[in-house]
């Protein structure tokens, strides 16, 4: 028995399915912790597999590889160095569990199974995992560890069980995806668990991007009174060493340690975008990205995020003007490219427009021009970008935002083309806020330039698709401040129309927005993935039928 422990919180960026790579990340964290004489290294939820593994975890071959990898890690601990507490899918008696495994002395010393399985939003763990029994504490060198896995902390029941069974401290392995304002919610819930139990708490999160989800790290330790004792950086891999002492009453407490200030507000959202894009591009082995740079704010912000995520040398911008493209847009796109230091090519789409006009002239005879011709322009641009992607290997970055995708103000196989949509969960009003923020701020670890990254005129001019003369978005849509407020009510809050009107919105406008939102579901199903920022991102967070006869949302 010991009265002191050195425990390392390891924020790791795993890749789903890359079991060997994830094991090497765990080994590297353990080696770093060993140099500081750590007794135990704790990693995040399902770190061996990567999180979330979705249906991949159901493959027997995958489960075999997980068990072989865990056996290797367990063998490492025979060297007398730190023990490991890692998350992994785990088979037991014919069932598959989300587990935390204590590896010590060359073997698997203990297995803890997740009790509370989330089944909402992006989570569907009941689809693939069985729920474990209510857990008891695990003995580690004289300390009783109350081990929980993510959702186990979000209600008091598991904490109460561990406390009643004599746990000395709470240890929470997490794969907690980022949402705006969620870091405060985590801290508040963790503080509630410490206050209820009188036990200190360690919270270990993942970091990095996995498809639509991003993990912000910011692992922390709370004292028994809910006070913050240590916190790792957000959005960075890190091994945070904490030191613990037992007092005469057999209670354990963490010494005051390093406390990193987490990113918040617009910086946190911007970092979520850069992290999601960086890891999607790198983990899928793309050399870089292609951005259709139009001279508008969405493409300018997308290009800035790409440069801050990947570096200017991996971002290729293309301006594709039509006869309706204004001189200001050409100038603004060129200046944005200069500010970012990216390559900008110009490929006019006039020849494609003329070709399609000739091809379809007989079929369209006696039919006046309408949105069909506008969509052809957007699709000509999509074809151009995809051709460049096919030829040179870079991924097309879609530049549409959540406001447009909500109401279908986008062209299938046109501006919706792309492998990833960095602004997919960003409302138009937030696009402006992020653009202004980035023009005024540049965190030191970003590879993009300091100072402005887009011309002021892009922020000031009325947004336009420029598919016909003198066009603006507000020819078709309500003003974005009004539109976004209504969309948040409909999407994030799932409010009835009457309740939205009661907030001061015009009833006719509210119904019109609801109708556009409802009718655009088929487009959203075909949109590329993008970074989840809000509590209800399109996709797994919000699932609506395409064929839908329900027309009374009041």
Catalytic residues: 45, 114, 150
Q: 226: left (phi > 0), else alpha (psi -120 to 50), else beta?
A: left
Dist CA 331 CA 118 (whole Å): 50
Classify the C-alpha dihedral 308-312-313-317 as positive or negative: positive
Residue in the structure block whose two tokens are 């036990």: 199
Collect all residues with Cβ–Cβ distance below 8 Å to 258 and sequence separation of at least 6: 230, 231, 240
Examine residue 362 and say whether the peptide bond preceding it is cis (omega within 30 degrees of 0).
no
Q: Taking Cα atoms as reference points, which of 468, 440, 467, 465 lies closest to residue 453?
A: 440
195 three-state secondary structure: helix
Q: How far apart are CA 514 and CA 497, in angstroms?
A: 8
Q: Tell me, rounded to whole angstroms, the distance of Cα 4 from its chain centroid.
A: 37
Closest C-alpha among 36, 462, 11 to residue 215: 11
User: Judging by beta carbons within 10 Å of its beta carbon (0-12, 13-18, 19+), is residue 463 exposed, middle or buried?
Assistant: buried
Contacts with 390 (C-beta within 8 Å, 6 or more apart), sequence order: none
Residue 366: half-sphere exposure toward Cβ, Cα within 13 Å: 0
Q: Are strands 169-173 and 201-204 parallel, antiparallel or unpaired?
A: parallel
Residue among 287, 294, 304 at smallest CA distance from 331:
294
Instruction: Report how far Cα 218 is from the mean position of its chain's Cα atoms.
Output: 14
Q: Which two tokens stand for residue 75?
A: 């063998």
Measuring CA to CA, how many Å separate 255 from each of 41, 42, 61, 121, 227?
A: 17, 17, 44, 37, 12
Q: DSSP labels for 245-299?
A: EE-TTS-EEEPP--BPPPP-HHHHHHHHHHHHHHHHHHHTT-S-EEEE--SSHHH
Report whether 169 contacts 252 (CB < 8 A).
Answer: yes
Q: In what order do the strands lie in the sheet with 289-292?
A: 343-346, 315-319, 289-292, 395-398, 420-421
| φ and ψ at residue 520, rounded to 5 degrees | -90, 5
């Amino acid at each position: 028995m010991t009265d002191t422990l050195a425990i390392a919180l390891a924020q790791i960026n795993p890749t789903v399915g890359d079991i060997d790579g994830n094991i090497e990340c765990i080994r590297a964290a353990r080696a770093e912790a060993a140099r500081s004489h750590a007794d135990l290294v704790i990693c995040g939820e399902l770190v061996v597999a990567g999180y979330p593994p979705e249906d991949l975890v159901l493959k027997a071959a995958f489960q075999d590889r997980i068990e072989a990898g865990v056996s290797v890690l367990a063998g490492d601990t025979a060297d007398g160095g730190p023990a490991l507490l890692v998350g992994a899918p785990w088979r037991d008696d014919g069932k598959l569990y989300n587990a935390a495994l204590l590896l010590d002395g060359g073997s698997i010393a203990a297995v803890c199974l997740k009790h509370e399985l989330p089944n909402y939003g992006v989570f569907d763990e009941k689809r693939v995992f069985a729920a474990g029994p209510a857990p008891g504490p695990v003995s580690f060198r004289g300390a009783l560890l109350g081990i929980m896995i993510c959702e186990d902390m979000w209600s008091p029941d598991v904490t109460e069980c561990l406390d009643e069974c004599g746990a000395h401290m709470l240890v929470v392995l997490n794969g907690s995806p980022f949402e705006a304002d969620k870091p405060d919610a985590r801290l508040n819930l963790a503080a509630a668990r410490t206050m209820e139990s009188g036990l200190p708490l360690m919270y270990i999160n993942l970091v990095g991007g996995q498809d639509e989800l991003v993990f912000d790290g910011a692992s922390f330790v709370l004292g028994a009174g809910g006070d913050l004792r240590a916190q790792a950086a957000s959005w960075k891999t890190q091994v945070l060493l904490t030191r613990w002492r037992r007092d005469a009453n057999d209670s354990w407490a963490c010494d005051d340690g390093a406390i990193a200030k987490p990113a918040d507000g617009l910086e946190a959202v911007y970092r979520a975008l850069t992290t999601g894009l960086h890891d999607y591009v790198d983990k899928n082995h793309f050399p870089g990205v292609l951005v259709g740079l139009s001279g508008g704010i969405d493409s300018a912000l997308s290009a800035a995020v790409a440069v801050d995520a990947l570096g200017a040398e991996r971002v290729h911008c293309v301006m594709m003007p039509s006869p309706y493209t204004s001189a200001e847009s050409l100038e603004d796109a060129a200046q944005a490219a200069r500010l970012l230091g990216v390559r900008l090519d110009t490929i006019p789409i006039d020849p494609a427009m003329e070709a399609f006009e000739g091809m379809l002239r007989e079929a369209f005879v006696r039919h006046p021009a309408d949105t069909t011709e506008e969509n052809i322009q957007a699709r000509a641009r999509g074809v151009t970008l995809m051709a460049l992607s096919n030829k040179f290997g870079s991924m097309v970055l879609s530049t549409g935002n959540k406001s447009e995708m909500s109401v279908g103000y986008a062209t299938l196989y046109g501006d919706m083309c792309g492998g990833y949509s960095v602004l997919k969960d960003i409302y138009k009003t937030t696009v402006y806020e992020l653009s202004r923020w980035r023009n005024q701020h540049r965190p030191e670890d970003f590879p993009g330039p300091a100072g402005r990254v887009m011309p002021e005129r892009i922020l000031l001019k009325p947004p336009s698709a420029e598919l016909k003369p003198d066009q603006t978005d507000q020819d078709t849509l309500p003003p974005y401040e009004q539109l976004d407020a209504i969309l948040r009510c409909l999407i994030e809050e799932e409010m009835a129309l009457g309740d939205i009107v009661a907030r001061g919105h015009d009833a006719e406008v509210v119904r019109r927005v609801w109708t556009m939102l409802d009718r655009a579901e088929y487009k959203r199903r075909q949109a590329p993935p993008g970074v989840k920022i809000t509590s209800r991102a399109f996709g797994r967070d919000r699932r609506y039928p395409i064929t839908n006869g329900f027309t009374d949302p009041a």
